[in-house]
Amino acid sequence: MTSSPPPLIPRDLLFGNPKRTAPGLSPNGRYVTYLAPDDHDVLQVWLRTLGEEDARPITDDRKRGIHDYFWTFEDDYLVYAQDGDGDEDYHLYAVHVRSGVTRDLTPFAGTRAYLIHASPECPDELLVAMNVEDPSRHDAYRVHLATGETERVFVNPGAVVGMVSDAFLNVRAALAATADGGMDLLLYPEHATEPHLARHWRPEDEGGAVGFSEDGRTLYFTGTHDANARRLLALNMQTREETVLAEDPEFDVSDVLLHPRRLTPEAVSFERDRLEWSVLDPAVTDDFAALAALTALAADAAADLHIVSRTLDGELWIVSLSRDNGPTAFHLYRRDSRATEFLFTTTPELEGQPLAKMTPVVFPARDGLTLHGYLTLPLGVAQENLPTVLLVHGGPWGRDLWGYQPTVQWLANRGYAVLQINFRGSTGYGKRFLHAGDREWGGKMHDDLIDGVNWITQQGIADPHRIAIMGGSYGGYATLIGLAFTPAAFACGVDIVGPSNLLTLMRTIPPYWEPMRAMFRVRVGDLETEEEFLRSRSPVFFADRMTKPLLIGQGANDPRVKQDESEQIVTAMRAAGNPVEY
C-alpha cells in the first residue's frame, strides 16, 4: 500500500479573511453582530436582527479592516478599536448601529486608548485609559458615547499599569509596577486621599485584577501568592479577607466567566493540554452539561468550548467550538430551553480540506523540567524522517495552544512536521515554570528548544538534517539565537520581527512600557549594570556564526520591535558574507 501527500490547500484559504467571525450579542438580545469582509475584502462589523435575515455592514474602514469591537450598554452603540498602519496607537470609534454614523472617541494624536470598563449603570459613558498627558502613563477618562466629551477622572501617579472600576465607572483598584520588578494591588476607597495597599506581589509572583461585583463589595482577582499557579480569589473590600474560589496546583486560571450583570464568577477555565472548564456557580451547571454534549458532537469528538458573548440577563449565549483540523463553529445557546442554534463557521471552505491533527506532547528538559508542547504531522506520508519546522511562540510570556492555526496547517500541508514547545518562561504553567525562564533568553529557554529538537529526532519523526526554526517576536529572536548559537541543529531559519540586540531593544521600548522596566531587569537583564551579559545573549554580535540561510520579515511601524532590530542583523550578516533575505 502506498501513500501520497494530499493536495495543496490554497494559501488565501488558509490566510485570507474569514467569511464571518467574532460574533457578539447586543446586551438586550435584539441584534447579533460579527466581522465579515465587504466587497473590497476589508473586514467590517455587520449587524443582523436576531431571527431576521437583514444583515448589513455598519462600518466602513478603508484600510486595515476591523478586528476588535465590543457592544456598549447604550443599545444603539458599539465601539471598535483601530490603529494607524500597525503603530499600536489604538483609537476607539463609536458606531451608531442604526444610522452608521461613526465618531472617534479618542481623537488625540500619538495616543493609545483602551477600554477599562463599560457598565449598564452608566450606559451612555465608557471608562477609557489614554496616555494623552504623558506617553509613559495612562490616565482614566469618562467618555460620552454620543458627544465624544471626555473628562479625566483618575490621574496615574506614574507606576499604575492597570485600573479597575466599580459599576459606576469609579476607579476603585489599580495595579502598579514596583521598583523590585513586582506588582502592587492598590485599593481606592471612596473619599480616601491615598490608596491602600491590598497585596504586594514580589517579582517571583504573579497577580492581576478581574473586576468588582455589581455591589462593589467584592474584588475578584488572580494571584500566585501562597501557591504555585494563579488562583482565582475574592477580596472582601470591608474586611480585606481573601477567599480562594478556584485553583490548580500546576496550571494557572485562564478565563473567568462572570455573570453579565451581577459580575460574580460562574466558571473558570484552565489551559492544560486542552481547554477545560470548572463550574463555580451551580446555576450554570446544567448549561455547561448541555454545551458539553454539543462539544461531543463535533467532528472527531475533539473541540474546545469558548463562551464568546452573552446578553445582559444571561439568557442568550454565543459559544464557539474550536477544533485543531477545521474552522471554528459558532452557536447560539438559549438557557430557557437548553437548545442551540448553529450560526456559522469562520471559513466554510475549510471543511473537507486535508487538515492535520494537533497532538499534545510532553517530554523532559535536560535538567528534568517537564515541557509541554504540540506536534502536527503531515497527512499522506510516512511519519518518519520528515522535514520539520520548530515553530517558536512570541512573548516570550505567552504560550502555544491547541487548536486550528493557519501557519501550522500551511506547513503540515506542504509536508512538514511542526513542533511547538512551551519552553520555560511560557505562561499558564505556574510561577515556578514561568520564572525558570528569568535571565534565560538565549540560555535555558533555548536549551528547551534544542531538547525538543533532540526529542523529535530520537522519536524518528524528524530528519536531523532538515529542521528549520521559525517564529515571530520572541520566536524571531529564538530563530536568530538558534542560527547563531546552535547552527548545527538547523538547516535554515525564518525570523519575523525578532529582536537581534537586547541592548537596543530595551533602550527603545514604547513609552507606555516604562513602568514595566523593572520587570524587564528581573526577567531579561539589567541594561544599566549588565551590558556585557545582554551582549552575550544578543545574536547580532554573533552574526559571523550564522552561516545557514535566514529569511527576515519586519513591520515598518512596529513600536516594540523596531525596524532597526532587523536592519542591524541584516547588515551584520551581509558584512560577514552570510546568507540572509530581508
Q: How far is CA 547 from CA 121, 484, 491, 574, in A?
A: 62, 8, 10, 11
pLDDT at 297: 66
Q: How far is CA 169 from the centre of its chain?
A: 26
DSSP state of 523: H
Mean local confidence (pLDDT), 209-226: 97
**Arithmetic mean of pLDDT over the chain:** 95
> Alpha-carbon dihedral of residues 155, 158, 160, 165, nearest 10 degrees?
0
At residue 190, the pLDDT reads 78
Confidence class of residue 544 from pLDDT cuts 50, 70 and 90?
very high
- CA–CA distance from 582 to each of 198, 295, 392, 487, 550 (Å)? 50, 44, 20, 19, 8
Comparison of pLDDT for 149 and 193, the residue scoring more = 149
What confidence score (pLDDT) does residue 216 get? Answer: 95
pLDDT digits (tens, 9 = 90+) for 479-514: 999 999 999 999 999 999 999 999 999 999 888 888
Taking the C-alpha atoms of residue 150 and residue 238, their distance in angstroms, rounded to an integer, is 32
What's 157's DSSP letter?
Answer: -
Residues 323-344 have a mean pLDDT of: 96
pLDDT of residue 85: 79
pLDDT of residue 1: 40
* Helical H segments across 310-436, by residue range: 406-413, 431-435
The terminus-to-terminus CA distance of the chain in angstroms comes to 43
pTM value > 0.75: yes
**Helix (H) or strand (E) run with residue 474 in it:** helix 474-485
CA of 63: how far to CAs of 43, 66, 203, 320, 343, in Å? 9, 9, 41, 28, 28
Q: Taking residues 260-282, what's their average pLDDT?
A: 97
Model confidence at 556, pLDDT cuts 50, 70, 90, reads confident
DSSP per-residue codes, 50-106:
TTS---EE-----SS----EEE-SSTTEEEEEE-STT----EEEEEETTT--EEES-
pLDDT at residue 86, as a whole number: 79
Alpha-carbon dihedral sign for residues 507, 508, 512, 516: negative
430 torsion bin: left (phi>0), alpha (psi -120 to 50), beta (else)? left
Give the pLDDT confidence score for residue 300 in this predicted structure: 52
CA distance 504 to 394: 18
The position carrying cell 477555565 is: 269
The pLDDT value given to residue 75: 86
Q: What is the pLDDT of residue 477?
A: 97
Q: Are the C-beta atoms of 27 and 312 separated by less than 8 Å?
A: yes
β-pair type (492-496, 550-553): parallel
CB 123 within 8 A of CB 90: no
pLDDT of residue 391: 98
Q: What does the pLDDT average to over 206-233?
A: 97
Quote the pLDDT of residue 515.
Answer: 83
Q: Quote the CA–CA distance of 314 and 59 in Å, as a whole number.
A: 27
Secondary structure of residue 208 in the 3-state scheme: strand
Is 494 in contact with 551 (CB distance < 8 Å)?
yes
Q: According to DSSP H, which parts of 268-333 are helical?
A: 285-296
The set of cell numbers assigned to 238 is 470591608
Q: What is the pLDDT of residues 1-31, one digit of tens each?
A: 447 889 999 999 999 999 999 999 999 999 9
Question: Is the pLDDT assigned to residue 551 strictly greater than 90?
Answer: yes
Instruction: Average the pLDDT over 438-448 and give the result.
Output: 98
